[in-house]
Amino acid sequence: MSAGAEGLPETIARLRREVCSLHAELTRYELVVWTAGNVSARVPGHALMVIKPSGVSYDELTPELMVVTDLYGTPVTSAETGSAAQDGSMAQWQNPDLTPSSDTAAHAYVYRHMPEVGGVVHTHSTYATAWAARGEAIPCVLTMMGDEFGGSIPVGPFALIGDDAIGRGIVETLSGSPSPAVLMQNHGPFTIGKDARAAVKAAVMCEEVARTVHISRQLGEPLPIDQAQIEALHDRYQNVYGR
């Protein structure tokens, strides 16, 4: 349910805690190194998002350091959202010395053009990024891939950080695709989800299948799965399993 005007400060505070804690999952599953990688979350019912600050070490992240921006990647103030800290302090609400992640433009573009998306994740995880460096989709040769991705994990176009190019590539590749993951060529994986936690899960699973399929190819040619079986796997997992 979308947060009403009165609930916006509480919603932002909750999402800051969630986005901060989810970054620990990226290090836990060894999907990132140094300060690379990022998680973001859409603020439901508002043209806002919460994302990791640029250049801050993972072990130094706190909820208060998460940056709130509009859906063009511009940091917003508490006055602009009516979300001042309880004591009216701007500094407690948002640190003016922090800038959002360098990938913010890509995240923001996804949110603007894919309203069903509530969370976006980017990593440079080793195996998935190796496939991206080859510009090669990860073929659906595992039932787990059918479950999670509904087919192969596609490759998006080469694009540079700095404008909407990466975001456009993500949206163009994933629109109409069952996959929540895309391998941006020569860059790395981006994943989406109904919320930030779902997008992190997709990033974890993307790296796992990238590694497994790579190892399988060292042993020989992996066996394909019939498309009808892939669709059945995906439908069951998404609509029946765990319900």
Domains in the chain: boundaries = 5-239
Whether the pLDDT of residue 95 is over 70: the answer is yes
96 pLDDT tier (thresholds 50, 70, 90):
confident
Please give the structure tokens belonging to residue 34: 């140094």
CATH of 5-239, one of 3.40.190.10, 3.40.1280.10, 3.40.225.10, 3.30.360.10: 3.40.225.10
Q: State how far the alpha carbon of 13 is from the alpha carbons of 68, 74, 100, 177, 183, in Å.
A: 10, 18, 17, 32, 31
Check: CB of residue 75 under 8 Å from CB of residue 86: no
Instruction: With a cut of 50, say whether residue 87 has pLDDT above it.
Output: no
* pLDDT of res. 93: 61
Q: Which residues are paired to 155 by β-bridges?
A: 183
Bigger pLDDT: 193 or 2? 193
